[in-house]
Chain A
Amino acid sequence: MTSTEKYVAAAYLVVFVMILLYVVIIAAKLSRLDREVGELADDVRARRRGEAAGDAAGGAEDDG
């Protein structure tokens, strides 16, 4: 490989690596969003379970 060919390859490689890096950053962001959506769904489920348990306890007190 000649010196010119090395430089041309380096120029193209820089562009390729930079775009790849950008894709990795976007992928990391999407993973974080996915995790946060999961956590939010867990929070909502826990809250619903708490509310349901509260309603059940309230109903038992009324019956008593």
Chain B
Amino acid sequence: MKKLAAPLDNAVGLALLATVLIGVATALTFFYAPVDQDGLNQKIFYFHVPIALTAYATFGWGAWKALVHLWKKKPGADLESYVAIHLGTIFGSLTLITGAIWAKLRWGHWWLWGEKELVLFLVIFLFYCTYFMLRYSIEAGPRRANISAVYALFGVVLIPVSFLAIRLAENYIHPIAFNKNGPQMAGSQFGTFLVCLAAMFALAGALYRLELLGKRLDTKLRELRELVLS
């Protein structure tokens, strides 16, 4: 019972933290952070960028767990990697949708194929979408876990490329909030951004724990059924 209670407590704690942080972040975004020269559309930034960073972080976490699986053969690491990548694709789709809405407001287009950062993010997103096709095309077992882990590790290489590409490009219209001189925004905006980022990380952590708990329960129930009915 203790084994089940620990991740559940973790999920409950993280869910409570996420609820509080999302409430505070929304209040700060609309009532504290000033409206800059971009106008009201800049309010999308406070959720769009943290969601995108959370997508990168969950893909990175999935790759780390994949490495743990391949390197240390830790039981459960494959499932943890799968759940992290699943969450990454959810946050990735949110990034693409909120980004498209913001792009329509700022540039008058839903999507621009000439924008390297957008296209590279789409490549990363599609790469991880195909992870699920690959995973479910192989029968469950060690072979599936190993091949999925190798694939997850390949994908993570695209993340620094995505960050660097926009900074190396000369012509771009996608805004850069952070450069080598630090954050390109006022202190109150940066503070709000940090709270929003913490809220998204807490939300991702809570969803990760919750999904992992459901998957582990499912596996244990299947094992129990086999034991009882054998």
Write the residues of chain A forming the contact surface with B, with a CB cutoff of 8 angstroms: 2, 4-5, 7-8, 10-12, 14-15, 18-19, 22, 26, 29-30, 33, 36-37, 40, 43-44, 47
Q: Does B52 contact A (CB under 8 A)?
A: no
16 more contacts with CB within 8 A, not counting A4-B39, A43-B228, are: A5-B40, A7-B44, A7-B102, A8-B44, A11-B97, A11-B102, A12-B47, A15-B47, A18-B94, A18-B97, A26-B210, A30-B214, A33-B217, A40-B228, A44-B228, A47-B228
- Bound CA span A46–B39, Å: 68
Contact between A33 and B221, CB atoms less than 8 A apart: yes
Closest Cβ neighbor of A7 among chain B residues: B105
Closest Cβ neighbor of B200 among chain A residues: A15
Contact between B229 and A11, CB atoms less than 8 A apart: no
Chain B residues within 8 Å of chain A by Cβ, number: 29
List chain B residues, Cβ under 8 A from A10: 101
Q: Does B24 contact A (CB under 8 A)?
A: no
Among A10, A11, A12, the one with the most B-chain Cβ atoms within 10 Å of its Cβ is: A11
Q: Does B135 contact A (CB under 8 A)?
A: no
Write the residues of chain B forming the contact surface with A, with a CB cutoff of 8 angstroms: 39-41, 43-44, 47-48, 51, 90, 93-94, 97-98, 101-102, 104-105, 203, 207, 210-211, 214, 217-218, 221, 224-225, 228-229
- Bound CA span A12–B29, Å: 12
- Bound CA span A53–B141, Å: 40
A36 to chain B, nearest CB (A): 6
Contact between A14 and B228, CB atoms less than 8 A apart: no
List chain B residues, Cβ under 8 A from A30: 214
Contact between B90 and A18, CB atoms less than 8 A apart: yes
Listed from nearest, the 8 A-B pairs whose CB atoms lie closest are A11-B101, A11-B98, A11-B44, A7-B105, A4-B40, A14-B97, A29-B214, A8-B43
Which of A22, A36, A37, A43 is in CB contact (< 8 Å) with B207? A22
Contact between A8 and B97, CB atoms less than 8 A apart: no
B118 to chain A, nearest CB (A): 16
List chain A residues, Cβ under 8 A from B225: 36, 40
Which of A5, A19, A33 is in CB contact (< 8 Å) with B214? A33
Contact between A15 and B94, CB atoms less than 8 A apart: yes
